[in-house]
Amino acid sequence: MTLKEVKVGKTVKVLKLHGEGAIKRRIMDMGITKNTTVFVRKVAPLGDPIEVTVRNYELSLRKADAEMIEVEEV
């Protein structure tokens, strides 16, 4: 399952980051790394962006970026 598919109010754990080079590096720089827990707070009306809580701060991700993050439910 990817982060894009997670419903609002669910907490998930990051399993793997897909993507190449700069995109993967940017996601990691935002604090989303393997074994990190992510809480999905809100999804915009049209589905883009997705607001999540990672490492005690709020972060907005595009659907394209969320699709590269493989997760499992906690």
pLDDT of 19 strictly over 90: no
Per-residue pLDDT at 10: 94
For residues 5-22, average pLDDT: 92
Q: How many CB atoms lie within 10 A of CB 14?
A: 19
Look up the CATH number of domain 3-73: 2.30.30.90
pLDDT of residue 47: 77
What distances in angstroms separate CA 13 from CA 22, 37, 46, one per listed residue? 22, 4, 25
Q: What is the pTM of this model?
A: 0.86
Instruction: Give 26-57 pLDDT, tens digit per residue.
Output: 999 999 999 999 999 999 988 789 999 999 99
The share of the chain scoring above pLDDT 70, in percent, equals 100
